[in-house]
Structure 1
Amino acid sequence: MNSADHRIRLDDPDRAAQPSSAGYPGNPHAGNGHEAPADGARPEFTLLVAGCRGGKTSFLRLLLDTCNISPNVSKDQLTSIAKFVQGCGSHTSYIRSATIDVEVDTDDGAKPLGLTLVDTPSLDFSDDQAAEHLMLETLHHVDSRFAEGIGLSEGRKNPGFRYVHLCIYFLDPDQIVPPSVPGPPAPVVPRTRNGSFSQPDQEPVILEPPVATNPLLFRAALPKLDIAAIRRLSGRVNVLPVIARADLLSNDRLAAVKVAIRRDLAEAGIGFGIFDMDGQYGIPQHPDERVEPPNGYANHTNGTSAPNSNSPPTSPVAPAILRLPYALISPDMYSHSDGVPRRPPSRHELIQQYSPPQQYPPPSKLARGKFIRSYRWGIVDVLDPAHSDFLSLRSAIFHHMDTLQKYTREYLFEKFKAEFGPHHPPSSRHSVAQPLTRPPSPLTDTPLACLLTPKTFAQVLAP
């Protein structure tokens, strides 16, 4: 077994050794992990994060911490999720995953769901070899879930098994619209004053800064390597690009980043598919729980000041067409390696934290004031739609969950079987797409959920 296989399989015992939960017959966590859920079993949804450094692991933790844990959760699942969260206290160095039973609020009430979270190391394109190795590992992880599905009996229904249904791809805004960089210091040029026989005075001569640091001459652009990575991942899984570390962006810079991402992805034939179909997805509003900043100005979404207010008008927000890509912020409580001492919770404390409460219905986990980021001028609340797009993204994921599951099962899985056949699964070093150093071809990869228009996506799913 090579090192790549070993690192990918490090958490396979956690993934495969989950016993069947009460109330869910045929739970695929049981046995060796290769058993299909029985008819009527609760559905499964697997979400993978990939891309730049900064925010991937925090997003998974925030998604986990805002979900209601199912009363039917098993002890093995709680132990596995506690181990997963403990590993979030440092940089992710290998692909790891955990599964837990949750309940998702829908129009028809609470819906049971087996939620699997997959964390991956950061893609560092400054190291071509490491980036390519990680891309191969990530693709192999997705392929291995399909390969398990091929081994199922043809006579049994397969409601989704453990396929990877969605990849959230994090983009570094600094690589799209770099922050302002001061120009080099003005050189000192000796000049002699007219009519003077004295020594030359040292008078500075102001020169224009280089073009690369002049914001008026810089064209915002999505790096081609990110576009190539998104295209390669889209060969196996639905991909949704998002903006990482959005708290570092002003309104104007955030708008420029969104424009650049949408423009360059569109030029590459990549869109946002079903996530562009409609607007908000029933984001819960908690006006009584809003935490006002202790200092600084509270922004108004219409770009104006409140009546009878002494606060200056804010910059207008991005127009509605630039709702996507979503811009995300990580709360301070998930930060690590920033020089701030934080006591890591013990395994026992985490098991208690994620154990379902005795109270029913459980208290809301979307209350504001807990997941915040503090600055000298005030606070940013990750659950405030005016500060972060997390709630919009969370609602969109669960809103389109059934469609993503069906598309993955009926199209991506069938496409995988057609390519490799039931007896020829891909090897651990197999690449399902072109290497990052080659420019992508629009004809080599079949467009997937993020590449399709809503109309085309509906045609693919039509019976």
Structure 2
Amino acid sequence: MADGIGIANLPNQRHKITSQHGAHFTIMVVGQSGLGKTTLINTLFATEICSPRNYRQRFAKQMDKTTEVEILKADLEERGFNIKLTVIDTPGFGDYVNNRDSWSPIVDFIDDQHESYMRQEQQPHRKEKQDLRIHACLYFIKPTGTTLKPLDVEIMKKLGTRVNLIPVIAKADTMTPEDLLNFKQIVRETVAAQNISIYSPPSDPEDEAAAEHARAMQAVMPFSIIGSTTDVTTPDGRVVKGREYLWGVAEVENEEHCDFKKLRSLLIRTYMLDLTTSTEEKHYEAYRLAQMETRKFGEPKVKKLDNPKYREEEELLRKRFTEQVKLEESRFRQWEQHLIAERDRLNKDLEQAHSSIKSLEAELDQIAAYHRQGGTVGRR
């Protein structure tokens, strides 16, 4: 048979099925406010998926002192191929003086998605499964140029064991090239010293070009990024996405300025499939295995009662209750003292009345005695 039996056509069949059904991809962005998370997402996918917050909304959110999880969905199409994109934002993270347990809502959300998917797999009807498992998590590092904050280290430790963690240095155009290289090295050393697990592109030893590309991606981590959806004109007349300064233009897609193109290649062009499969085969399976080893089939997950979202409210209520108890005790003591004083006054009046009665009885007895003797008695 000159054309074979058709086994070689299986990739074409798979391509056709995937093209018809499309794909879904879920990305989470974590970092302090003002680091350009919204701008980067809009720049990555070349459309406004996330609407930027104004400063009043951001200030109002900071007054709430809780980390929230917001879900944004969009349908994207390119050359007839559709993808359902879900963006998970985490406003409020790291914006306060006391950020204790501010990562808990984020970690709980990730675990809850694994739990939800595992529950759906155990149901008899599984065609309409809702899947919000995180395929990639971009963690935005503030460009301090010195070191990572303890908060950065703590949350990256927790995220790295649950999702494909990709650290990025935000606003790379605020640092000189030398400072940026030094800061990258500091981040790498901290990640290695703290045993933080970050996403590593797969390397195929049989494909030297792919292996070299994976090594190049690994070498530039953490990615330095510049986000901008604004068109600016360079001194040589080109119109590009970037930021304009007095000294020139910081171009988003210029690899001499930042690693945006490499990050986009990793997330979308080259390793999106690996990000989704590794979520299924590595992170979800690790969660499922851990739960099946500690729980009986069908047993519900034990919910933690120390949710930091309510802990501060609980402390406030406890404080109010204590103050109210003290106030009521003070009122009771005043009332008790008033009752004692009133009792003493009434007892004194009673003693005076009793004394008057005794005196009157004595006079009455004296009068009665004189009358019996036939005499008269006059009051003095």
Distance 1:160 1:407 in 2: 18
- In the alignment, what sits opposite 1:275? 201
- In the alignment, what sits opposite 2:184? 258
Distance 2:95 2:221 in 1: 24
- In the alignment, what sits opposite 2:50? 85
State the identity %: 24
Change beyond 3 A, Cα 1:321–1:147: closer
Paired positions, count: 258
Report the Cα offset of residue 223 of structure 1: 2.8
- In the alignment, what sits opposite 2:25? 45
Distance 2:197 2:286 in 1: 21
Report the Cα offset of residue 143 of structure 1: 2.1
- In the alignment, what sits opposite 2:373? none
Retained in 2: the 8 A contact 1:160–1:405? no
Change beyond 3 A, Cα 1:403–1:86: closer
- In the alignment, what sits opposite 2:142? 172
Structure 2: stretches of 5+ with no match in the other structure:
1-17, 62-67, 204-210, 232-237, 308-380
Report the Cα offset of residue 429 of structure 1: 5.4
Change beyond 3 A, Cα 1:164–1:46: same
Distance 1:244 1:371 in 2: 16
TM norm structure 2: 0.59
Retained in 2: the 8 A contact 1:244–1:328? yes
Retained in 2: the 8 A contact 1:124–1:131? no
1:242-257 correspondence to structure 2 within 5 Å: 242-257=168-183
TM norm structure 1: 0.49
Decide which of 106, 109, 113 is 1:141's aligned counterpart: 109
- In the alignment, what sits opposite 1:303? none
Structure with the greater relative contact order (CA < 8 A, sep ≥ 6): 1 or 2?
Answer: 1
RMSD of aligned residue pairs (Cα, Å): 3.4
Retained in 2: the 8 A contact 1:43–1:159? no
Deviations 1:405-463 (A, max 9, x none): 122122322332334455323537578xxxxxxxxxxxxxxxxxxxxxxxxxxxxxxxx
1:176-325 correspondence to structure 2 within 5 Å: 176-177=145-146, 221-270=147-196, 272-275=198-201, 277=203, 278=211, 280=213, 322-325=219-222
Decide which of 303, 312, 326 is 2:223's aligned counterpart: 326
Whose helix proportion is higher, 1 or 2? 2
Larger Cα Rg: Structure 1 or Structure 2? 2
Is 1:373 matched up with 2:299? no
Structure 2 counterpart SS, 1:275:
coil
Decide which of 35, 39, 43 is 1:58's aligned counterpart: 39
Distance 2:277 2:252 in 1: 31
- In the alignment, what sits opposite 2:281? 410
Change beyond 3 A, Cα 1:113–1:64: same
Is 1:424 matched up with 2:295? no
Deviations 1:74-124 (A, max 9, x none): xxxxxxxx7x633544566432121222246xxxx7643211111112532
Change beyond 3 A, Cα 1:168–1:86: closer
Matched AA of 1:96: E
Change beyond 3 A, Cα 1:424–1:234: farther
Distance 2:85 2:306 in 1: 27
1:103-118 correspondence to structure 2 within 5 Å: 103=77, 111-118=81-88
